A and B are shown apart, each in its own frame.
Chain A
Amino acid sequence: MRGFEWTEPDTITGALDAAGGQAAFLAGGTTLIDLMKLQVMRPSRVVGINRLPLTGIRVDAKGLHIGALTRMSDVAEHPEVAHAYPVIAQALLLSASQQLRNMASMGGNLLQRTRCTYFRDIAEPCDKRDPGSGCAAVGGFNRAHAVLGTSPHCSATHASDVAVALVALGATVDLRDASGTRTVDLDSFYRLPGGTPHIENALRPGELITRISVPRLPWARNSAYLKIRDRQSYEFALASAAVALQVRGRRIEDARVAVGGVATVPWRLPGVEAALRGRPPGLRTFEHATADAADGARPLTHNAFKIPLLRRTLVRALMSLEP
């Protein structure tokens, strides 16, 4: 690990003042400290933000609001979250381990870096870590890599589970810097790799995520998260699905669908949502509506299995909901 200066301000303005340049915010540290040890991240200053007043969960007429420093375990175990938005609680409980969920913040979760082994190894070329160096995953071991939203420069998956649930529900994030606060759709917050895989999202240098908001959606009570992985627990997704259905009188009025583990960003599927609307819930509808879910997929040498897996994961997740 490289040496760095340490500060731990009590106020948001103090944190914003200390940020910028080569500084990094430290919340739970479960991404940052890991990657600093690997020298993938090399901040010259680390600004601890755990003393900032950015924790808490609130449900009001507009929806659900989560302070960026609220821990994953606190959100997962919150009774109102589990009741009103099961897809969020389930995505969190299926993430990482109890220790990590106790440490990790919701804001940090959205900003976690990919688990691509080549990104994590500074001896390997990686356009995301070291722009212009190339991509070792092409022609390397790429079984875990993305098939959707990829480019010749990067096929690394975005590894967050809860981001998939949040994107499906149309969540927004509040971003704050010295010039004020702006609210951004989480879906458009994430950037496809294209030719600039090192730019992963819309966050400006020194900007803080202060809050995550999920719009009120009473029918999100009928939602679920399904995660398929190589072992039963404590593993990242090979494919995952976040789904919610509004059903009235055997007819799907509305649907929310997003997938994870298969794409370079949390991947909403508006085409599948549209194909579900107006149909009766059931296996035939779900198979029909998800037929083109992997449209545009570009498999590498070892990950073509993710194309049928993604569709099966979606169908199984939809089948688990109330008809």
Chain B
Amino acid sequence: MSPEPERPPRPARVSRRGFIGRTTAASLGAGALPRPDQATAAAAAAAAAGAPGQPLPGPPGTEVTLRVNGAEHRVGVDNRATLLDTLRERLRITGPKKGCDRGQCGACTVHIDGRTALSCLTLAVAAHEREVTTVEGLADGDVPHPVQRAFIKADAFQCGFCTPGQIMSAVALVEHGPVGSDDAIREFMSGNLCRCAAYPHIVRAVRQAGSTGRKR
């Protein structure tokens, strides 16, 4: 997992080929509005590739319907766009976080058709017409979900970057419960890493939410 969120990992050894490959991937992979740093990287990559100022050929895209937290969104996406980038950059649903972008940290966890899934390894085109729930969709109006309340009560976070993903996993466990022993909680939640190591409080929050009833 990268120590700094929201930034592509730096290659350990930078070769020219590796640099071009990686920066192109970073700047184009999102299929979304490039951020300024990425635009610069893309220009650098284009210049290095000997094509200064040449517009890149339009990548293949698809119109998809995304059902997120009960609302339907019709969006045209680059086929390469992940569900994570599409949620964050296009729909401005920024609860799911980009920790590693490699399926390793769980910060991007959402529910797809009622089960936890990693939005960084899901293509937006593959989420067409499926039910997506993010942390924004858990509360009942102004009333937070019991798992959200338990996280606050148990002080189950420090920086909070992993928290939306932790909560989505915890909700799946609590709602399909029983949550089981602390070891069972740790095992179920092992796909959600926490750089701040708030694990003991996270386990406590899940245990509390599990014992105070599953539903809202």
Contacts and interface: CB of A to CB of B under 8 A. Distances in A.
Contacts of A46: 79, 123
Contacts of B189: 98
B28 A99 contact: no
10 interchain residue pairs of minimum CB distance: A97-B191, A123-B18, A3-B59, A233-B190, A234-B190, A102-B115, A6-B79, A1-B80, A99-B116, A123-B15
Most chain B beta-carbon contacts within 10 A, residue among A3, A73, A121, A234: A3
A320 B82 CA distance: 43
A38 B189 CA distance: 26
A1 B28 contact: yes
B25 A39 contact: yes
Contacts of A73: 115
- Which of under 10, 10 to 19, 20 to 34, or 35 or more describes the interface residues of A? 20 to 34
Interface in A73-106: 73, 96-100, 102-103
A39 B20 CA distance: 11
A37 B116 contact: no
A4 interface: yes
Interface in B10-31: 11, 13-15, 17-18, 21, 25, 28-29
28 contacts: A1-B25, A2-B80, A3-B79, A3-B80, A5-B79, A6-B60, A6-B62, A6-B125, A8-B126, A8-B128, A26-B123, A26-B126, A28-B121, A30-B118, A33-B123, A37-B102, A39-B25, A97-B190, A97-B191, A98-B169, A98-B188, A98-B190, A99-B116, A99-B191, A103-B122, A122-B18, A233-B186, A234-B190
Interface in A21-46: 26, 28-30, 33-34, 36-39, 46
Interface of B: 11, 13-15, 17-18, 21, 25, 28-29, 59-60, 62, 78-80, 82, 101-103, 106, 109, 115-118, 121-123, 125-126, 128, 169, 172, 186-192
Given A122-B21, A234-B190, 10 more contacts: A5-B60, A5-B79, A6-B62, A29-B126, A30-B103, A98-B188, A99-B191, A102-B116, A103-B121, A122-B17
A98 B188 CA distance: 6
B191 A100 contact: yes
Most chain B beta-carbon contacts within 10 A, residue among A34, A48, A99, A103: A99
A50 interface: yes
A1 B30 CA distance: 9
Contacts of A234: 190-191
A123 B106 contact: no
Contact of A33 (B15, B18, B21, B122): B122
A10 to B, nearest CB: 13
Contacts, number: 101
A10 B191 CA distance: 31
Interface of A: 1-6, 8, 26, 28-30, 33-34, 36-39, 46, 48, 50, 73, 96-100, 102-103, 121-123, 233-234
A38 B13 CA distance: 15
Contacts of B11: 121, 123
Contacts of B28: 1
A48 B126 CA distance: 7
Contacts of A122: 17-18, 21
A74 B190 CA distance: 18
B18 A103 contact: no
A97 B80 contact: no
Contact of B121 (A8, A29, A38, A233): A29
Given A4-B60, A123-B11, A99 B17 contact: no
Contacts of B101: 37
A96 B125 contact: no
Contact of B117 (A50, A99, A121): A99
Contacts of A96: 191
B171 to A, nearest CB: 12
Nearest to B124: A6
Nearest to A122: B21
A26 B125 CA distance: 11
Nearest to B121: A33
Given A26-B126, A122-B18, A234-B190, A103 B118 contact: yes
A2 B11 CA distance: 19
B6 to A, nearest CB: 16
Contacts of A102: 115-117
